Amino acid sequence: MKITAELTMGDPRQFGAVGDGAVDCTEAITRAAAAGGGLQFAPGRYRISAPITMELDRHGPLPVSGPGATLVMAGAGPALRLL
């Protein structure tokens, strides 16, 4: 028997991310990650200025996907922080 769970993949643009490489998308991506499920990035360059914290102990698996998408870290620290 195989049991699988379907995860909802959210688009950070629904939370205000732009993906043009100029606009800081940190807050929008943080809100998308906090909503749970997974992150499905549309193609683009997503500029962030602080680490994005993903609370796996709170939300469970949090897949991140985005063919053609790049996170551009414009601040100190890691781009992603997994807890």
Distance of CA 48 to the CA centre of its chain: 10
What is the separation, in whole angstroms, between the first and last Cα of the chain? 31
Residue where the block lists tokens 């800081």: 24
The whole-number pLDDT of residue 7 equals 58
The whole-number pLDDT of residue 29 equals 94
- pTM score, whole prediction: 0.84
Task: Indicate the domain borders of the chain.
Answer: 10-82
Q: What is the pLDDT along the chain (83 residues), one digit of tens a residue?
A: 554 555 577 899 999 999 999 999 999 999 998 887 789 999 999 999 999 988 877 777 778 889 999 999 999 989 888 88
The whole-number pLDDT of residue 10 equals 83
Q: In angstroms, rounded to a whole number, what is the distance separating the alpha carbons of residues 15 and 42?
A: 13
Evaluate whether 47 touches 64 at the Cβ level (below 8 Å). Answer: no
